[in-house]
Structure 1
Amino acid sequence: MALLGLMSFAALTLFLVLTTVPRQAHASSRGNLGRNINPSVYGICASSVIVHGYKCQEHEVTTDDGYILSLQRIPEGRGKSSGSGTRKQPVVIQHGVLVDGMTWLLNPPEQDLPLILADNGFDVWIANTRGTRYSRRHISLDPSSQAYWNWSWDELVSYDFPAVFNYVFSQTGQKINYVGHSLGTLVALASFSEGKLVNQLKSAALLSPIAYLSHMNTALGVVAAKSFVGEITTLFGLAEFNPKGLAVDAFLKSLCAHPGIDCYDLLTALTGKNCCLNSSTVDLFLMNEPQSTSTKNMVHLAQTVRLGALTKFNYVRPDYNIMHYGEIFPPIYNLSNIPHDLPLFISYGGRDALSDVRDVENLLDKLKFHDENKRSVQFIQEYAHADYIMGFNAKDLVYNAVLSFFNHQV
């Protein structure tokens, strides 16, 4: 379904799916709602890590184009000491679009991936993309200016990821394991295809990958994609795409007004039925998300689906593309160029309507020449998109497999 707005809506879906009331979530009294520390005031370490008895450090790294990014480091497990002299393997964990690093820390600590990794002997680093609440600073630009938001996921490939990896590598002196979810998989794959990061990378785990999204074809998806096309002239007048802003809010309400569209059940209608979310976890999510991204990023995501290929941002006008790239059309990120001996773990779900099985199979086909013993693929029939970051059983189904994968890399 090559519609202009499909990928933009796919990115927007991550907000819609996780911020509409998911009445099918499992009830639970085991969430983290008992916290009385406001993350917006005190940050991720104080509100969501230290409170559980873990050490946590707030770090900053500046990209080559001037963006100041927030990183949280969890150097060791709860109640453990790093004084043993053993160097722990570093892991960088990257969130998706319209959210931030908090999404990895919404369940009780024994169910949260960063804390599970720390308890199992890893040196954990949580990344926060430019434009999100803890990464909204720049050496000269202010977020209120359009210039601050003049970027797409190309810049995440070119600047954010290298800055984070260079910093973590400089702090640890070791090759890095990587975990990405959703857009965190797309940016990683594009980076690997250009040879970026691979010399500092030990292995990568890609959860619910979205390199391709051509088969997101629910009725709501079709309506939303068409509607988004009609809104380009107004919505895209804004440099910052803020899901909490009035313009985006009006767009969402217009979608819900379409006949046959049930916004009460968006969780199922858009991503498939997430099997394993506790209501308390979703409540905590609603307290912290969504986050802003750039409108240019949303446009780039739309182009990604329309073209059916991963390319750099298309400025449409040939002279603009020539000015930026030296050619009429934007260059392609060729996933076949990813080193065949790079250890990859890919996990996808049978009920994920955003990262559809057919699209993941297309990705796997691009990786068909990958060394067989360096590619591990996991399929979970009952999982949908949000289960990978907030599922109460993700530890048993996914995270233990990620741990095993990391531990088997030499």
Structure 2
Amino acid sequence: MENPWTIILVVALLWVSVVAATRTKLQSIENVDGGICKSMLETQGYTCQEHKVTTEDGYILGLQRIPMGRSGDETPNKKPVLLQHGLLVDASAWLLNPPDQALAFILADNGFDVWLANTRGTNSSRGHTSLTPNDPAYWDWSWDELAAYDLPALFKYVNNQTGQNLHYVGHSLGTLTALAAFSQEKLLNLLRSAALLSPIAYLGQMSSLFIRIFVDLFLAEKQKLLGLHEVPNSETKELVDFICNTLGVDCTDLFETITGPNCCLSSASKAALFKNFPRSTATKNIIHLSQMVRMGTLEMYDYGNEDTNMEHYKQPTPPVYNMANIPKDVPLLLSYGGRDALSDVNDVELLLDNLEDHDKDKLVVEYREDYAHLDFIMSVNANQLVYDPLLAFFKLH
């Protein structure tokens, strides 16, 4: 069984690589022309601002702001909301559906001041005070740094710009980084509440066979040994062209193969996602996530030997993120799905076990049996099933 699955996994990785390679020129144009604001927000009739945020470790992050809805309501002191996307996408993931179905638009039209984050390494966030993406050191980070540097910088910036504490929405990797920060009691002095869609803390029970085989073959580690610090990369473009085109493999089905059978995505939103996927991340980040799948643990990046861990952490093993340390009075909404192959139900239940002492009036848990991973940001009925309760939660806090 190993050989066929190995081929499928390589196809997927290579497909991601070739899509990224063919988009290099477009990405540079997007950054010059204003990117997400001009191509995805202003075209829908929304006011949009481009902001830049510099992290403590020197990364320059792009941040888009939707200060008002289409009605042009300029009510002062609107409550700010920061939206943080997941892995291999950027802020465009919140904008792939029509305005009455996409969360960023819905929040703006409901009187919120919406801020769209872009993780380091993605199109809008490839700047640095001293490095370029061509430098291996630029990619020397995992989601540890996203929790330690990116989120604090973004929270502080939005707070400084608005004079208010903010609501937070995370999807997938955007939930993991927030939970890690909260467990260390970071960000809380600037937070009103947090809504976590497809929450990820533990990955040990994930049901995606695709990802498990990827992890078991140590493919991310092999990429690093080859000196490939950025994922995706374009080293094997010709091979992926051959497999996807000549052999007739339908690469567009890979989203569902990886994330689970989404119930309610329109063909238009799937096409929009394909157009905006993938965005870059660090190979080290993929390795860190792979470690979590293999070990079932929630720890900082493991450097693989006690001496190197000692250099970084002053202990032989990586420090643990303890979810039970999240303060019990932090308002949290967790929304997860029964068909999600990444944010597996059993892993979410393990997270909820760690939150069992959380104040009951500060923890809202919602379960959608027919939802998979992408439904929470792209489903045609998420506006009613997920976003209406989210809006009510935000207005309560």
What TM-score results when the alignment is normalised by the length of structure 2? 0.87
Listed one character per residue, the Cα deviations across residues 302-349 of structure 1 (whole Å, up to 9, x for unaligned) are 122223221111112212111111111111111111010000000001
Is 1:336 the counterpart of 2:328 in the alignment?
no
SS at match of 1:50: helix
Stretches of 4+ aligned residues off by more than 4 angstroms: 38-41, 247-255, 261-265
Distance in structure 2 (CA, Å) of the matches to 1:157 and 1:253: 39
Q: Which amino acid aligns with 1:119?
A: D
Whether the 8 Å contact between 2:208 and 2:260 is mirrored in structure 1 is no
After superposition, the Cα gap between the structure-2 partners of 1:365 and 1:231, relative to the gap in structure 1 and judged at 3 Å, is closer
| Residue 175 (structure 1) aligns with | 165
1:132 deviates by 0.3
Task: Select 2:181's aligned residue among 191, 195, 210.
Answer: 191
**8 Å contact kept, 2:220–2:287:** no
* Structure 2 CA distance for partners of 1:99 and 1:265, relative to 1, 3 Å: closer
Q: 1:248 to 1:236 in 2, by over 3 A?
A: farther
> Is 2:220 aligned against 1:226?
no
Query: What's 1:242 paired with?
Result: 231
Question: Structure 1 residue 232: deviation in Å?
Answer: 2.8
Give the distance between the partners of 2:211 and 2:288, measured in 1 at CA.
18
Change over 3 Å in CA distance of 1:209–1:251 after alignment to 2: farther
Assess if the C-alpha contact under 8 Å between 1:344 and 1:376 holds in 2: yes
| Structure 1 runs not aligned, ≥5 long | 1-8, 20-37, 256-260
RMSD, aligned CA? 2.6
**1:63 matched residue in structure 2:** 55
Deviation of 1:285 (Å)? 1.7
- Distance verdict in 2 for CA 1:43–1:300, change over 3 Å: same
Q: CA, structure 1 residues 75+324, in 2 after alignment: closer, same or farther (shift >3 Å)?
A: same
Which structure would you say has the larger RCO, counting Cα contacts within 8 Å and 6 or more residues apart?
A: 1
1:49 aligns with 2:41: yes
Q: Find the counterpart in structure 2 of residue 295 from structure 1.
A: 283
Q: Verify the 8 A CA contact 1:239 1:296 in the aligned structure 2.
A: no
Do the aligned partners of 1:236 and 1:295 also contact (CA within 8 Å) in 2? Answer: no
Supply the distance in 2 between the matched residues of 1:161 and 1:252 (Cα, whole angstroms): 37
CA pair 265-73 structure 1, distance change in 2 beyond 3 A: closer
Aligned to 2:272: 284
Supply the AA of the counterpart residue of 2:293.
Answer: V
1:5-404 paired onto structure 2 within 5 Å:
39=30, 41-82=33-74, 84=75, 86-227=76-217, 229=218, 232-243=221-232, 245-247=234-236, 265-404=253-392
Residue identity opposite 1:210 in structure 2: I
Residue 109 of structure 1: CA displacement? 1.2
In the alignment, the residues of structure 2 paired with residue 251 and residue 74 of structure 1 have an alpha-carbon distance, to the nearest angstrom, of 38
Amino acid at match of 2:320: I
Q: Which secondary structure does the structure 2 equivalent of 1:273 belong to?
A: coil
- Does the residue aligned with 2:47 lie in a helix, a strand or coil? coil
Structure 2: stretches of 5+ with no match in the other structure: 1-8, 20-28
Code of the residue aligned with 1:200 in structure 2: it is L
Flag the 1:239–1:289 CA change in 2: closer, same or farther, 3 A: same
Q: Following the alignment from structure 1 to structure 2, what is the Cα–Cα distance between the partners of residues 374 and 250? A: 51
One-letter code of the match for 1:232?
A: E
Shift of the 376–271 alpha-carbon distance from structure 1 to 2, 3 Å rule, reads same
Report if aligned partners of 2:215, 2:293 keep a CA contact under 8 Å in 1.
no
CA distance in 2, matches of 1:153, 1:218: 21
Opposite residue 325 of structure 2, the aligned amino acid is: N
Structure 2 contact 176–199 (Cα < 8 Å) conserved: yes
Aligned amino acid, residue 301 of structure 1: L
Give the conservation status (yes or no) of the 8 Å contact 2:195–2:333: yes
Structure 1 residues 282 and 326: CA distance shift in structure 2, 3 A: same
Deviations 1:193-243 (A, max 9, x none): 01110110010000001111222234434433333x266334543353332
Q: Secondary structure at the match of 1:180?
A: strand
Is the 1:243–1:249 contact (alpha carbons within 8 Å) kept by the matching residues of 2? no
Q: The residue matched to 1:388 in structure 2 has which SS?
A: helix
Structure 2 contact 205–293 (Cα < 8 Å) conserved: no
1:62 shift after superposition: 0.3
Q: Distance in 1 between matches of 2:238 and 2:192?
A: 42
Residue type of the alignment partner of 1:290 = P
TM-score between the two structures when normalised by the length of structure 1:
0.84
Deviates more, 1:300-309 or 1:341-350: 300-309
| TM-superposition CA deviations, 1:55-86 (whole Å, max 9, x none) | 1110001001110000001111112231x4x3
State whether residues 242 and 248 of structure 1, in contact with CA within 8 Å, keep that contact through their aligned partners in structure 2. no
Hey, what's the Cα distance between the residues in 1 that align with 2:239 and 2:186?
A: 39
Distance verdict in 2 for CA 1:198–1:253, change over 3 Å: farther
Kindly, what percent of the aligned residue pairs are identical? 52
Deviations 1:264-296 (A, max 9, x none): 744443322111111111112222221110111
Counterpart contact for 1:59–1:73, Cα < 8 Å: yes
